[in-house]
Amino acid sequence: MLKIGKYELSSRLLLGTGKYENTDIQKQAVEASASEVLTFAVRRTSLEDGAKDAFEGIDLNKFKLLPNTAGAKTAAEAVRTAKLAYAAGLCDMVKVEVIGCDRTLLPDPIETLKASEQLLDEGFTVLVYTSDDVVLARKLQELGVHAVMPAASPIGSGLGIINPYNLQQIVEQATVPIIVDAGLGSPADAAYAMELGADGVLMNSAVAKAGNPVLMAEAMKEAVEAGRKGFLAGRIEKVQYAQPSSPVEGVSPHS
Amino acid sequence: MLKIGKYELSSRLLLGTGKYENTDIQKQAVEASASEVLTFAVRRTSLEDGAKDAFEGIDLNKFKLLPNTAGAKTAAEAVRTAKLAYAAGLCDMVKVEVIGCDRTLLPDPIETLKASEQLLDEGFTVLVYTSDDVVLARKLQELGVHAVMPAASPIGSGLGIINPYNLQQIVEQATVPIIVDAGLGSPADAAYAMELGADGVLMNSAVAKAGNPVLMAEAMKEAVEAGRKGFLAGRIEKVQYAQPSSPVEGVSPHS
Amino acid sequence: MLKIGKYELSSRLLLGTGKYENTDIQKQAVEASASEVLTFAVRRTSLEDGAKDAFEGIDLNKFKLLPNTAGAKTAAEAVRTAKLAYAAGLCDMVKVEVIGCDRTLLPDPIETLKASEQLLDEGFTVLVYTSDDVVLARKLQELGVHAVMPAASPIGSGLGIINPYNLQQIVEQATVPIIVDAGLGSPADAAYAMELGADGVLMNSAVAKAGNPVLMAEAMKEAVEAGRKGFLAGRIEKVQYAQPSSPVEGVSPHS
Amino acid sequence: MLKIGKYELSSRLLLGTGKYENTDIQKQAVEASASEVLTFAVRRTSLEDGAKDAFEGIDLNKFKLLPNTAGAKTAAEAVRTAKLAYAAGLCDMVKVEVIGCDRTLLPDPIETLKASEQLLDEGFTVLVYTSDDVVLARKLQELGVHAVMPAASPIGSGLGIINPYNLQQIVEQATVPIIVDAGLGSPADAAYAMELGADGVLMNSAVAKAGNPVLMAEAMKEAVEAGRKGFLAGRIEKVQYAQPSSPVEGVSPHS
Q: Is the pLDDT of residue C21 over 50?
A: yes
Q: Is the pLDDT of residue A229 over 50?
A: yes
Give, in degrees to the nearest 5, the angle at Cα D233 between C160 and C13.
55
Nearest CA in chain A to B228: A219
Residues 6+ apart with CB under 8 A from C151: C106, C107, C129, C130, C131, C132, C180, C181, C182, C183
Pairing verdict, β C2-4 and C7-9: antiparallel
* Contact between A48 and B103 using a beta-carbon 8 Å cutoff: no
Least confident of A42-46, A162-166, A216-220, D203-207: A42-46
Q: Is residue B252 part of a domain?
A: no
Helix (H) or strand (E) holding A37: strand A37-41
Q: Which residues of B touch D116 (CB under 8 A)?
A: none
The one-letter code for the residue type at B195 is E
pLDDT band at D244; cut points 50, 70, 90: low
Report pLDDT for A170. 96
Least confident of C17-21, C219-223, D234-238: C17-21
The one-letter code for the residue type at A121 is D
Mean pLDDT of B71-97: 90
Closest approach of A239 to chain B, Cα-based (Å): 5
Q: Which residues of C touch A133 (CB under 8 A)?
A: 106, 109, 131, 133, 136
CA C26 to chain centroid? 18
Residues 6+ apart with CB under 8 A from B225: A219, A222, B12
Q: Is the pLDDT of residue D190 over 90?
A: yes
Q: Provide the 10 A C-beta neighbour count for residue D22.
A: 8
**From the list A104, A136, A165, which residue is nearest C134 (CB)?**
A104
- How far apart CA A221 and CA D176 sit, in angstroms, is 51
Q: What is the pLDDT of residues C153-181, one digit of tens each?
A: 998 899 999 999 999 999 999 999 999 99
Report pLDDT for D246. 53
Mean pLDDT of B163-186: 96
Pairing verdict, β C37-41 and C64-68: parallel
Closest approach of B127 to chain A, Cα-based (Å): 16
Q: What is the pLDDT of residues C127-148, one digit of tens each?
A: 999 999 999 999 999 999 999 9
**From the list A106, A211, A243, which residue is nearest B156 (CB)?**
A243
Q: Which residues of A touch B225 (CB under 8 A)?
A: 219, 222
Q: Is the pLDDT of residue A46 over 80?
A: no
- How far apart CA C146 and CA B69 sit, in angstroms, is 64
pLDDT band at C18; cut points 50, 70, 90: confident
For residue D250, say whether it is annotated as part of any ligand binding site: no
Q: Is the pLDDT of residue B187 over 80?
A: yes
* Contact between C105 and D244 using a beta-carbon 8 Å cutoff: yes
Percent of chain B with pLDDT over 70: 90
Q: Is the pLDDT of residue D251 over 50?
A: no
- How far apart CA A119 and CA A136 sit, in angstroms, is 17
Answer with the residue of higher pLDDT: A62 or A210: A210
Residue pair B88/B94 in contact by the 8 Å Cβ criterion:
no
Q: Is the pLDDT of residue A8 over 60?
A: yes
Pairing verdict, β C93-96 and C125-130: parallel
pLDDT band at C249; cut points 50, 70, 90: very low
**From the list A192, A215, A229, which residue is nearest B219 (CB)?**
A229
Answer with the residue of higher pLDDT: C25 or C50: C25
Q: Which residues of C touch D219 (CB under 8 A)?
A: 225-230, 233
Q: What is the DSSP string of C189-202?
A: HHHHHHHTT-SEEE
Report pLDDT for A85. 87
**What's the CATH number where C62 sits?**
3.20.20.70
Mean pLDDT of D68-92: 89
Residue A99 DSSP SS3 = strand
Q: Is the pLDDT of residue C107 over 50?
A: yes
Nearest to C66 by CA among C81, C77, C76: C81
The per-residue b/e assignment along A222-254, b for 16 or more CB within 10 angstroms, e otherwise, is bbbbbbbbbbebebbeeeeebbbbbbbeeebee
Pairing verdict, β A2-4 and A7-9: antiparallel
pLDDT band at B90; cut points 50, 70, 90: confident
Report pLDDT for D1. 87
For residue D205, say whether it is annotated as part of any ligand binding site: yes
Report pLDDT for A56. 74
Chain D interface with B: residues with Cβ < 8 Å: 100-101, 103-104, 106-110, 113, 131, 133-136, 138-139, 153-154, 159, 162-163, 165-166, 169, 173
Give, in degrees to the nearest 5, the angle at Cα D230 between D225 and D236.
165
For residue C22, say whether it is annotated as part of any ligand binding site: no
What ipTM goes with this model?
0.90
**From the list B84, B156, B158, which residue is nearest A244 (CB)?**
B156
Report pLDDT for B252. 34
Mean pLDDT of D83-100: 88
In the sheet with C179-181, reading across from the earlier edge strand, the strands are: C147-150, C125-130, C93-96, C64-68, C37-41, C13-16, C200-203, C179-181
Mean pLDDT of A114-140: 97
- How far apart CA B9 and CA A241 sit, in angstroms, is 32
Closest approach of C173 to chain A, Cα-based (Å): 10
Residues 6+ apart with CB under 8 A from C230: C191, C194, C195, D186, D187, D188, D216, D219, D220, D223
Report pLDDT for A171. 97
Report pLDDT for A255. 31
Nearest CA in chain D to B161: D163
pLDDT band at C251; cut points 50, 70, 90: very low
Q: Which of C6, C27, C64, C95 is catalytic?
A: C95
pLDDT band at B227; cut points 50, 70, 90: very high
Residue pair D201/D181 in contact by the 8 Å Cβ criterion:
yes
Answer with the residue of higher pLDDT: B158 or A60: B158
Q: Which residues of A touch B240 (CB under 8 A)?
A: 157
Closest approach of A89 to chain B, Cα-based (Å): 15
Sign of CA dihedral B230, B234, B240, B244: negative
The one-letter code for the residue type at A192 is Y
Percent of chain C with pLDDT over 90: 74
Q: Is the pLDDT of residue C80 over 60?
A: yes
| Averaged pLDDT of chain B | 89
- Which chains have 3 or more CB–CB distances shorter than 8 Å to chain C? A, D
Most confident of B14-23, D66-75, D221-230: D221-230
Report pLDDT for D254. 33
Mean pLDDT of B31-48: 82
Most confident of B151-155, D86-90, D245-249: B151-155
CA B79 to chain centroid? 20
pLDDT band at A139; cut points 50, 70, 90: very high
- Which chains have 3 or more CB–CB distances shorter than 8 Å to chain D? B, C
Q: Is the pLDDT of residue C66 over 50?
A: yes
For residue B10, say whether it is annotated as part of any ligand binding site: no
* Contact between B158 and A18 using a beta-carbon 8 Å cutoff: no
The one-letter code for the residue type at B215 is L
Q: Is the pLDDT of residue C243 over 80?
A: no
Closest approach of D44 to chain B, Cα-based (Å): 25
Q: Is residue B1 part of a domain?
A: no
Q: Is residue B245 part of a domain?
A: no
Chain C / chain D CB contacts < 8 angstroms = 288
Percent of chain A with pLDDT over 90: 74
Residues 6+ apart with CB under 8 A from C76: none
Answer with the residue of higher pLDDT: D34 or C43: D34
Report pLDDT for C240. 85
Burial of C118 (0-12, 13-18, 19+ CB in 10 A): middle
Q: Which residues of A touch C169 (CB under 8 A)?
A: 101, 103-104, 106
pLDDT band at C58; cut points 50, 70, 90: confident
- Which chains have 3 or more CB–CB distances shorter than 8 Å to chain B? A, D
Q: Provide the domain count of chain A.
A: 1
Residues 6+ apart with CB under 8 A from D122: D79, D82, D83
* Contact between B240 and A157 using a beta-carbon 8 Å cutoff: yes
**From the list D100, D134, D135, which residue is nearest B135 (CB)?**
D100
Mean pLDDT of C96-115: 94
Least confident of B58-67, C42-51, D109-118: C42-51
Q: What is the dihedral of CA B212, B213, B219, B224, to 10 degrees?
A: 160
- How far apart CA D235 and CA C244 sit, in angstroms, is 34
Q: Is residue D246 part of a domain?
A: no
Q: Which of D95, D139, D221, D229 is catalytic?
A: D95
Q: Is C145 left (phi over 0), alpha (psi -120 to 50) or beta?
A: beta
Q: Where are the alpha helices (DSSP H) in A13-163?
A: 23-33, 75-87, 109-121, 134-143
Report pLDDT for C254. 33
Q: Is residue B182 part of a domain?
A: yes
Q: Which residues of D touch B113 (CB under 8 A)?
A: 110
Residue pair D12/D224 in contact by the 8 Å Cβ criterion:
yes
Mutate to test the interface with C, among D245, D248, D255 (most CBs of C within 10 A): D245
Residues facing residue A94 across a β-bridge: A126
Q: Provide the 10 A C-beta neighbour count for residue D25.
A: 15
Answer with the residue of higher pLDDT: B241 or B183: B183
Mutate to test the interface with B, among D130, D132, D134 (most CBs of B within 10 A): D134
Report pLDDT for A51. 53
pLDDT band at A248; cut points 50, 70, 90: very low
Report pLDDT for C242. 63
Mean pLDDT of A158-166: 95
**From the list B101, B138, B163, which residue is nearest D163 (CB)?**
B163
How many helical (H) and strand (E) elements, i.e. helices and strands, does chain B have? 8, 10
For residue B204, say whether it is annotated as part of any ligand binding site: yes
Strands (E) across chain B are located at 2-4, 7-9, 13-16, 37-41, 64-68, 93-96, 125-130, 147-150, 179-181, 200-203
Percent of chain C with pLDDT over 70: 90
Q: Is residue B5 part of a domain?
A: no
Residues 6+ apart with CB under 8 A from D202: D13, D14, D15, D16, D39, D149, D179, D180, D181, D182
Residues 6+ apart with CB under 8 A from A12: A2, A194, A199, A200, A201, A224, A225, A228
Least confident of A91-100, A113-122, D52-61, D103-112: D52-61
Q: Is residue B21 part of a domain?
A: yes
Q: Is the pLDDT of residue B211 over 90?
A: yes
Chain B / chain D CB contacts < 8 angstroms = 82
Q: What is the pLDDT of residues A179-222, one digit of tens each?
A: 999 999 999 999 999 999 999 999 999 999 999 999 999 999 99
Nearest to C41 by CA among C12, C21, C69: C69
Answer with the residue of higher pLDDT: B60 or C93: C93
Chain C interface with A: residues with Cβ < 8 Å: 100-101, 103-104, 106-110, 113, 131, 133-136, 138-139, 153-154, 159, 162-163, 165-166, 169, 173
* Contact between A44 and B192 using a beta-carbon 8 Å cutoff: no
pLDDT band at D57; cut points 50, 70, 90: confident
Mean pLDDT of D94-123: 94
* Contact between D101 and B135 using a beta-carbon 8 Å cutoff: yes
Q: Where are the alpha helices (DSSP H) in A88-212?
A: 109-121, 134-143, 164-172, 187-195, 205-208
pLDDT band at A109; cut points 50, 70, 90: very high
Q: Provide the 10 A C-beta neighbour count for residue B136.
A: 29
Q: Is A18 left (phi over 0), alpha (psi -120 to 50) or beta?
A: left
pLDDT band at C186; cut points 50, 70, 90: very high
| Averaged pLDDT of chain C | 89
Mean pLDDT of A1-14: 94
Mutate to test the interface with D, among B134, B141, B153 (most CBs of D within 10 A): B134
Report pLDDT for B249. 42
Exposure on the CB side of residue C61, measured as CA atoms within 13 A: 0
Q: Which domain holds residue D132?
A: 10-233
DSSP state of D236: P
Q: Which of B27, B64, B95, B221 is catalytic?
A: B95
**From the list A70, A220, A248, which residue is nearest B244 (CB)?**
A70
Q: Is residue D1 part of a domain?
A: no
Q: Is C95 tagged catalytic?
A: yes
Helix (H) or strand (E) holding D188: helix D187-195
pLDDT band at B49; cut points 50, 70, 90: low
